[in-house]
Amino acid sequence: MLKVKVPNEQSDEEYIEEGLISIFTLHADIDSEYQIPSRDEIKESRKSDSITFVVYEEDSCVGFIRGTYDDDTKRAFVKDVYVSPDKRLSGHARKLIETFEIEARRLGAKSIALRVDVRNAAAVRAWESCSFEPYQMQMKKEI
């Protein structure tokens, strides 16, 4: 049985930190210019999160979503979603995204934005399956 909640235990925060390290390591594997932040930088970045949820299966934390909400633009922004590798493709991320959307709407958001690396085809497909659409493109040129 899945349970989504606001993180309120030290073990939740530790899980989120370890998950972020996994996400940042994946970014570095995709983009050789990406610098993995230190644990202190990760903790500092967590301070700006205004929307965070963890998902539990039985008594184990198996995923999280974190992001922000900007009242001026009425836009929520998903910073990261992580699900333990052995729990992927089981609907956990979708449940987190649905919960994030409900909270964003409650706060007054009119839209939700996020960034996804186009080289991460699985992530692009996952976001598209949740009705997200491309609206910006960033380009680069190696010199």
pTM higher than 0.75, yes or no?
A: yes
Binned at pLDDT 50, 70 and 90, residue 59 comes out as confident
Task: Judge whether 51 and 76 are in contact, CB under 8 Å.
Answer: yes
End-to-end C-alpha distance for the chain, whole angstroms: 51
- pLDDT for res 48: 80
Binned at pLDDT 50, 70 and 90, residue 77 comes out as very high
Q: Domain coordinates of the chain in residue numbers?
A: 2-129
Q: Which two tokens stand for residue 122?
A: 């699985």
- pLDDT for res 51: 93
* Beta pairing partners, 137: none
Q: What gap in Å lies between CA 80 and CA 67, rounded to an integer?
A: 7
In three-state form (DSSP H/G/I as H, E/B as E, the rest C), the secondary structure along 22-79 is HHHHHHHHHCCCCCCCCHHHHHHHHCCCCEEEEEEECCEEEEEEEEEEECCCCEEEEE
- Mean pLDDT confidence for 59-84: 93
Q: Which two tokens stand for residue 3?
A: 């349970």
Give the CATH architecture of domain 2-129. Answer: 3-Layer(aba) Sandwich (3.40)
Q: What is the pLDDT of residues 2-55, one digit of tens each?
A: 788 888 888 888 888 888 888 888 878 877 778 888 888 888 888 888 899 999
Q: What is the pLDDT of residues 83-118, one digit of tens each?
A: 988 888 888 999 999 999 999 999 999 999 999 988
- pLDDT for res 139: 80
